[in-house]
Amino acid sequence: MYGLKTDWLEEPTPRYYTLGDYEGETARWCTGCGDHAVLTAVQRVCKEEQLPPDKTVFVSGIGCSSRFPHYMKTYGFHGLHGRALPVACGIRSRRPDLHIFVVTGDGDCCSIGTAHWIHAVHYNMNLVVMLFDNNCYGLTKNQTSPTSPKGSKSNTHPRGAALDPLNPVQITLAITNASFVARTVDWNPPHLFATLQAAHRHKGLSFVQIIQRCPHYKAGVHDPLQSDPSQLLLMTHPDGIQLDDSIKGIFKNQREHDPSDMDAARALARDPEGVSIGLFYRNESGERYDEYTALGIATSRDEKIAALKAELSLYQI
Amino acid sequence: MSAESTTKSSDADAPAGGASAAGNGNEVRVRTIPEQIVEIVSDSGEGAQTAGQLFGTVCAKMGNGLWTVEIIPAEIEPPARSQAGASGIRIRFATRPMTNMGDQADLVVSFNEQVLYSRIDQDALRTGTVLLIDDRWASDEDPGIQEAYQKALDDFRARGYEVRGVPIHSETSKVTDNPQRGKNMWVVGLLCALYNRNLDIAKKEVRKIFERRRKGQAVIDMNYKLLEAGHAWAIEHLDERFDVPAEEQETQMVVMNGNAAVAMGAMAAGIEVCSMYPITPATSATHYLASVFHEAGGLIHQAEDEIAAAGFAIGASYAGKTAITITSGPGMALKTEMLGLAVMAEIPLVVVDVQRGGPSTGLPTKVEQGDLLSSIFGMPGDSPKVVMAASSIDECFHFVITARKLAEAFCTPVILLTDANLSSGQTSFTMPEPNEDWLSPPVDQSPWKEGVAPYAWDQETGLSRRPVPGQAGGAFVLTGLAHDEKSHIAYESAVNQRTMRMRSRKMAALQKTLKPPEVHGDPEGDLLVVGWGSTRSAIDEAVDRIRKDGRKIGSLCLRFLSPLEPGLKEIFARYKRVMTVEINYSDDLGDPLIDDDTRRYAQLAWLLRAHTLVDLDCWSRVPGQPIPPWMIEEAVRGRLEGIK
């Protein structure tokens, strides 16, 4: 290791990773929780993309979904409520070799961690950010979240939430330098998988809102969407999320949307014809802060000492 | 006029440089003095600090001991000609090394008379202090200002200061169209003449200053002209000169302030990421680092807030890259949760807290030692971590290197406390010799040893190695929740007891490697004065003065506050009384309602009383400036009266 310009090594003999290589502890989410479906989809993405588990990191905050890293057999960082993004950005800043996924919830991302959400999108570092949006605080036992529907009852608003919910996609699309913004649902595995795979392949910050069921505290909230796919608007495009025709056929309501068209993306984010799912926006050529933060990464020890000596000499008496 | 105090004049009657004629025909007296305290005071934005730093650097480069203290208002542009807006700098230079700001000023150059009231308010002037005040206000078009000027000058004379009007503005106007920007350099020229400084050295430093600011030759030439004009005027009109001889230096020396020293320490330690959010008085460390860090391959990340700054550093550190975050008290408060996470998950992290006055926003630009207990204890649950304090500017440099090593060896956050006195104070110290051993090692990406848990705590020391992402076979999920050796979430009583013990044990393991602190002065006697951080030199100076009267007292400065240095109880037992001197708040016995039951102690005193069960006394003040030796001397003498 000593004296090497680069301080990581490639594994000399590649091997084929199976789904089992990504399976960590047994998931302890409630029966019927949408998180199980996302876990399965993510493990499949890892396998399809053949991500080395030792080179993959899942970073999360606090909440039901933030237990996610424990259920993967990769490196994981289960940190503080709302603070997954700064940690993930810090990891990314000097480790271009790692695959980094961020797991966050609607309380984590859209409430306590809002500042980091906005700035992480602006930084546009190469990360996959999955917003597990179940419209409520689950782990703290049913409080209103910023995305709770107006009128929905919780322990903090027993007479119903007072305000219309925040729309995470609308907000993300408003941030300068947003480069990949998508929405999917936990109950359509092919769409979920295809969206996350596209997110992983994107170079930059991929923001994916996953509409996710909480059978315990928000039972039935998404039943209409689930049982009547016509309430969803499937965005299609050759540059968008690719689905088999058999899956596409489920969606009666479809609209071709060019993901390079930001104005159209912002219009669709208002869900004019039902809840839009698919890829709202993608820009592969956006500025990436991780390209800036990685500068100087190969500086040798001799160069470091020389730089300090040169600097000290300026202060010499 | 006389710019020396009677106690400091070594040989006033035998001028070292002899006598010659000033331009005005009067005889010029040159006196040799061992030490001098000069201040430049102005409205904000008039360049007093630049001028003072320049003059101080010239003194240091000529081989004098140096200590500077900046006087900084909290606003960028406070009202002109007001006491609250006083901005400036004190330069203490001497034949011997200097490590504190000293007592009252010998000479003050002031750009207006009103700002001097802030110095009077701070007890910075004494009978006989020479005041050189810009005389432009005597002929100001506003009769109110003329009157205020005359009134103040009469008042100053009545207070016993030696007052002289100097045509700073009008003389500077002869050289430049913008005297407001140029008069600071003119004053440096004047001071160089008055103190026999080498103008060529000043010019070299001027070049350096303006090249750093990316100014062209025209700006540099103009500043040369201003220097020369101030110098020439002083030669022509002042009939005294002073010589502060230099001692021969045995080693190469550097001169810098504490924030630059912290920044260079980060480079010397091989730290790769400095993640910060702007906060006074810490930010200048990052300003400086930002100008050079890339040369050493480092990254400055200006985060969206203090929390994110800590989170980003923790992320980098978790990924194997050494990281530092530099902040001040309010920033520390915001980082608290992140520091708790670093303790719980055992992530190395260096945190520098450049302390300012608190609580809340407090005194943003002023010194205080108020963050000691919050650094050690200010987190939910038991969160043992290393807390160190630098007591000098060279320690600001070297302790960052130590902190980085400890953070990694003990897998813990290390908080390094400095303060607003050290951060902007300049002094000279032995040039560090950068070497390989100071640098952090490359990221370990060798395969993780099979069967070893991510927290395989050594049962005796609590130490463990940590896998870094990328290490084959080391994958684990770090968590801020209670966890066992394998980093699995564990709520069982026995596991929680055991893992808390392991994290705490690391502090004992570190303490066992430390040496007992050295006592300054008498090794036993009536009183031991204990301090920490930047007060060290002023305490030592006060103790030395009292010892000259035959009282047996000593002083001691603690660099490690968590864990505390060993042997304190034995050292304390050698004195009749022990007290701390600190720049933070404590109640004074004898005040209304304050008795042994109600008294709240200074922070180190709280800590040492609990740690040693010795009935320590304390004396502390929160003046928003360094405590000068004379104040400490007075306080300690007061305590000694009660000790037979």
- Tell whether the model's pLDDT for residue B249 goes beyond 90: no
Residue (of A84, A80, A146, A141) closest to A110 by Cα position: A146
Please give the tally of structural domains in chain A. Answer: 1
Pairing mode of beta strands A99-105, A127-133: parallel
Residue A213 resides in a domain: yes
The reported pLDDT for the residue numbered A8 is 52
Residue A259 lies in a domain: yes
Residues B500-525: tens digit of each pLDDT: 999 999 999 999 999 999 999 999 99
Q: Which residue of A has its CA nearest to B345?
A: A79
Q: What is the mean pLDDT of chain B?
A: 94
Structural domain includes residue A118: yes
Residue A136 lies in a domain: yes
Tell me the chain B residues in contact with residue A54 when contact means C-beta distances shorter than 8 Å: 469-475
- Distance (Å, rounded) from C-alpha B399 to C-alpha B392? 10
A176 in reach of chain B (CB within 8 A): no
Give the CATH number of the domain where residue A266 resides.
3.40.50.970
State the DSSP code for B77. S
**What burial class does residue B386 get, using C-beta atoms within 10 Å of its C-beta: 0-12 exposed, 13-18 middle, 19+ buried?**
buried
- Give the pLDDT score at B370: 98
* pLDDT one-digit tens code per residue, B424-438: 999 999 999 999 999
Contact B436 A305 (CB under 8 A): yes
> Would you place residue B23 in the very low, low, confident or very high pLDDT band (cuts 50, 70, 90)?
low
Task: Inform me whether the C-beta atom of residue A87 falls under 8 Å from chain B C-beta atoms.
Answer: yes
pLDDT band at B551 (very low <50, low <70, confident <90, very high): very high
Would residue A311 count as lying in a domain?
no
Give the A window 126-165 contacts with B, CB below 8 Å.
none
Report the mean per-residue pLDDT for chain A.
94
Listed in sequence order, the DSSP H helices in A58-188 are: 84-94, 106-107, 114-123, 168-173
A228 touches chain B (CB under 8 A): no
Residue A6 within a domain: no
CB burial of residue B222 (10 Å; 0-12, 13-18, 19+)? buried
pLDDT of A317 above 90: no
For chain B, percent of residues with pLDDT exceeding 90 = 88
Among partner residues A25, A57, A80, which is closest to B337 by beta-carbon distance?
Answer: A80
**A161, A154 Cβ separation under 8 angstroms:** yes
Q: What is the pLDDT of residues B602-624, one digit of tens each?
A: 999 999 999 999 999 999 999 99
Average the pLDDT over B284-307 and give the result.
Answer: 96
Please determine, for residue A9, whether its predicted confidence score (pLDDT) is greater than 80.
Answer: no
Mean pLDDT of B25-41: 90
Q: Count of CB atoms within 10 A of residue A215's CB? A: 16
Q: For position B16, what pLDDT does the model report?
A: 42
B-chain CB neighbours of A74 within 8 Å are 475
Q: Output the pLDDT for position A13.
A: 59
**Structural domain includes residue A172:** yes
Query: To probe the interface with B, which of A21, A28, A59, A75 has the most B CB atoms within 10 Å?
Result: A75
Residue A293, pLDDT above cutoff 50: yes
Range of the domain at A118: 13-290
In B, which residues are within 8 Å of A58 by CB distance? 477
3-class SS of residue A175: coil
**What residues contact B447, with CB distance under 8 A and at least 6 apart?**
B471, B472, B473, B474
DSSP calls for B244-287: -PPPPPSS-EEEEEHHHHHHHHHHHTT--EEEE---TTTHHHHH
Q: Please tell me the distance from the alpha carbon of residue B331 to that of residue B197, in angstroms, as a whole number.
A: 42
Cβ atoms within 10 Å of B86's Cβ, excluding its own: 25
Percent of chain B with pLDDT over 70: 96
A33 contacts chain B (CB < 8 A):
no
Element (H, E) at B145: helix B143-158
* Cα distance between residue A209 and residue A271, in whole Å: 14
Distance CA B41, CA B125 (A): 12
**Does any domain span residue A203?**
yes
Residue B2's pLDDT is 44
Residues A86, A116: contact at Cβ < 8 Å? yes
Position B608: which residue type? L
pLDDT tens, position by position, B456-468: 999 999 999 999 9
Least confident of B25-29, B177-181, B268-272, B327-331: B25-29
Using CA coordinates, name the residue in chain A closest to B60: A317
Q: Give the pLDDT score at B21.
A: 60
Chain B stretch 435-474, residues whose beta carbon is closer than 8 A to a beta carbon of chain A: 435-436, 439, 442-446, 467, 469-474
B260 reaches A (C-beta below 8 A): yes
Which residue of chain A has the CA closest to B309? A86
What pLDDT, in 10s, does the model give residues B378-397? 999 999 999 999 999 999 99
* Alpha helices in B38-96, H assignment, sequence order: 48-61
DSSP tag of A286: S
Q: Tell me how close the Cα of B255 comes to any Cα of chain A, in angstroms.
A: 6
Pair B40, B88: CB distance under 8 Å? yes
A102-145 pLDDT, tens digit each: 999 999 999 999 999 999 999 999 999 999 999 999 999 999 99
